[in-house]
């Protein structure tokens, strides 16, 4: 499963343009959380 900023925005169909940044933050946070988990386990 590949989660990108674009795939998150696409799944949130109808998201207002000014809110796209929020979905990007969510994707970035998920990637960082996975990296953190991998580094500790």
What is residue 14's predicted lDDT score, i.e. its pLDDT?
78
Integer Cα distance of 27 and 13 in angstroms: 15
pLDDT in tens, 1-41: 799 999 998 998 878 889 999 999 999 999 999 999 999 99
Q: How confident is the model at residue 28, as a pLDDT?
A: 95
Can you give the pLDDT at residue 29?
95
Residue carrying the six token digits 């169909």? 13
Range(s) of the domain holding residue 10: 5-40
Per the structure block, which two tokens stand in for 38?
A: 């991998």
pLDDT of residue 17: 87
The confidence score (pLDDT) of residue 13 equals 86
Query: Quick count: other Cβ atoms within 10 Å of Cβ 8?
Result: 19
Distance CA 7, CA 36 (A): 22
The count of domains in the chain is 1
């Amino acid at each position: 499963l590949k989660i990108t900023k674009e795939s998150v925005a696409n799944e949130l169909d109808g998201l207002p343009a000014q809110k796209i940044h929020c979905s990007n933050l969510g994707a970035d946070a998920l990637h960082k959380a996975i990296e953190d988990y991998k580094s500790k386990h």
